[in-house]
Amino acid sequence: MDRQKIKTFLTLGLVLLSCLVLFWGEQYLGKFSTRVLNLAAIFVILGASMNLVLGFTGMFSLGHAGFMCVGAYVSAILTMSPESKEMIYFMEPIISPLDKIHWPVFPAILTAGLVAAFFGFLIGFPALRLRDDYLAIATLGFGEIIRIIVTNTISITNGSLGLKNIPPIKSLWVYWGFAIATIWILKQLINSSWGYAFKAIRDNEIAAEAMGIDIFKHKLMSFTIGAFFAGLAGALMGHLITSVDPTMFRFLFTFQILLIIVLGGLGSLTGSVIAGVLVTVMMEVLRFVEQPMNLFGLQIPGIPGMRMVIFALLLLVVILFYRQGLMGTREFNWDWVLDKVGVGRRKEKGVGVDG
């Protein structure tokens, strides 16, 4: 059988398998495990989208939490019922017409992404004229500005009290559906001529410009798309934990995503997926280190935040000894698997695009 056909079958098989796993998970997994897995899906979306900006386009942007914040609030305000809005906004009533709006969840999540993308576009326009550390500082600042605006526009966002009673979504299908769709879209994007332009800009801006690539346009596009998916993830986050408040989206959150993409490999979607799941699951598993424990007769009281120390150490080790992360810039592909199991490779002849 020809290799291309085998690959198509394998891909279909994988899709079927993931459907089965999701089906099984829906049926038999407990509430807690489902929640952790849903959170993992959100972190996969966040990791992949931030990787598009950092790993593939090479823009050191740290505003991801800000775009998440926009997405979370947009979707929450659009989907909450008018009654609960009336109850929650007791400091200052919500302005019209937002008080009457009661959208279904899916269009609200997509709108959240679009609004976040719009913010990304607005912020990217001035900020992307900077690069490297300066861009990092500017985007970090913008991220914080978004959060502070949200805290202070009380008649829209209910300020620091946050929002509660956001319609919950519990199904694994929704979160992983969005995660898989995100990965698929980003994969298509990265393998398109735009994607190659992103990578060329990352590798060498001057050469890319000399080849006739419009640097600013492509950077803005990558940044806006990254913000779109961050908004999507933020919206999902709101529906997962059913409440949002501005402190959730402090810039420390961005560093958690940064940890995922550095761990997985800057410039590898596969890496972001693996690390996204790994970090989220570890976050839960490692909760025991915050319990009081008895270490060789030494009584250690519970220290909240110990988990983060472990992640910080992990990040240090990765940066010092294993710079490229789990995957480097490599991606999972069937050719690699087929080579491993020894299915003969058709000799590449002439010029082709790696499929």
Partner 1 sequence: MLKIEDLHVYYGGIHALKGITLEVPENKIVTLVGANGAGKSTTLRAISGLVPVARGKITFRGEEITRTKTAEIVKKGITLVPEGRRIFANLTVLENLNMGAYARTDKEEIKRDIQRIYEMFPRLKEREWQAAGTLSGGEQQMLAVGRALMSRPALLMMDEPSLGLAPLLVKEVFRIIKDIYSKGMTILLIEQNATAALQVADYGYVLETGNIVLQGPGKELAANDEVKRAYLGKA
Does residue 325 touch partner 1 according to CB under 8 A?
Answer: no
Query: Which of the stretches 145-153, 198-206, 235-243, 331-339 binds partner 1 when contact is defined by CB under 8 A?
Result: 198-206
Q: Report the SS3 class of residue 294.
A: strand
Residue 320 lies near partner 1 (rule: CB under 8 A)? no
- 346 belongs to the binding site for partner 1 (CB under 8 A): no
Q: Which residue has the tokens 């983060």?
A: 308
Residues β-bridged to residue 298: 295
Query: Applying CB under 8 A, which of residues 27, 96, 193, 299 lies at the interface with partner 1?
Result: 193
How many angstroms separate the CA atoms of 253 and 176, rounded? 21
CA dist., res. 163 & res. 73, Å (int): 8
Residue 292, preceding peptide bond in cis (omega within 30° of 0): no
Under 8 Å between Cβ of 36 and 280? yes
Q: Where are the beta strands (DSSP E) in the chain?
A: 293-295, 298-300
* Count of chain residues binding partner 1 (CB under 8 A): 23
Of 46, 117, 200, 237, the one binding partner 1 (CB under 8 A) is 200
The CA distance from 315 to 38, in Å, is: 24
From the list 142, 102, 104, the residue with the least C-alpha distance to 122 is: 142
Q: How far is the CB of 335 from partner 1 (least distance, A)?
A: 11
Cα 266 to Cα 41, 81, 326: the distances in Å are 19, 41, 9
Q: Give the whole-angstrom CA distance, residue 267 versus residue 255.
A: 17
Q: In the window 215-244, what residues touch partner 1 (CB under 8 A)?
A: none
Stretch touching partner 1 by CB under 8 A, among 121-129, 194-202, 228-236, 294-302: 194-202
Nearer to partner 1, 69 or 269 (CB): 269
Window of 15-23, 36-44, 209-217, 313-321 that interacts with partner 1 by CB under 8 A: 209-217
Stretch that binds partner 1, among 92-100, 134-142, 205-213, 229-237 (CB under 8 A): 205-213
Given 72, 186, 208, 244, the residue binding partner 1 (CB under 8 A): 208
The helix (H) or strand (E) run that includes residue 97 is none
Among 41, 59, 88, 197, binds partner 1 (CB under 8 A): 197
Contact between 295 and partner 1 per CB under 8 A: no
Q: Does 199 bind partner 1 (CB under 8 A)?
A: yes
User: Parallel, antiparallel, or unpaired: how do β-strands 293-295 and 298-300 relate?
Assistant: antiparallel
Question: Which phi and psi angles does 244 have, rounded to 5°?
Answer: -130, 145
Cα 203 from Cα 217, distance rounded (Å):
17
Q: How far is the CB of 218 from partner 1 (least distance, A)?
A: 11
Please pick, from the candidates 301, 342, 344, 350, the single residue that binds partner 1 as defined by CB under 8 A.
350
Q: Does 207 bind partner 1 (CB under 8 A)?
A: yes
Per-residue binding string, partner 1, 261-290, x by CB under 8 A, is ------x-----------------------
Which of 302, 178, 164, 304 is closest to 231 using CA atoms? Answer: 178
Contact 75, 238 (CB under 8 A): yes
Q: Which is nearer to partner 1, 18 or 188 (CB)?
A: 188
Sole window of 67-75, 195-203, 288-296, 299-307 interacting with partner 1 (rule: CB under 8 A): 195-203
Peptide bond into 97 cis (omega under 30): yes
Q: Could you say whether residue 354 binds partner 1 (CB under 8 A)?
A: yes
Please name the residue ranges forming H helices in 153-203: 154-157, 172-190, 193-203
Q: Which of 86, 214, 335, 339 binds partner 1 (CB under 8 A)?
A: 214
Please give the DSSP secondary-structure letter assigned to residue 295: E
Residue choice 4, 152, 188, 204 for contact with partner 1 (CB under 8 A): 204
The reply on whether position 202 binds partner 1 by CB under 8 A is yes
| 347 interacts with partner 1 by CB under 8 A | no
User: Which residues make up the interface to partner 1 (CB under 8 A)?
Assistant: 193, 196-197, 199-200, 202-204, 206-214, 267, 329, 348, 350-351, 354
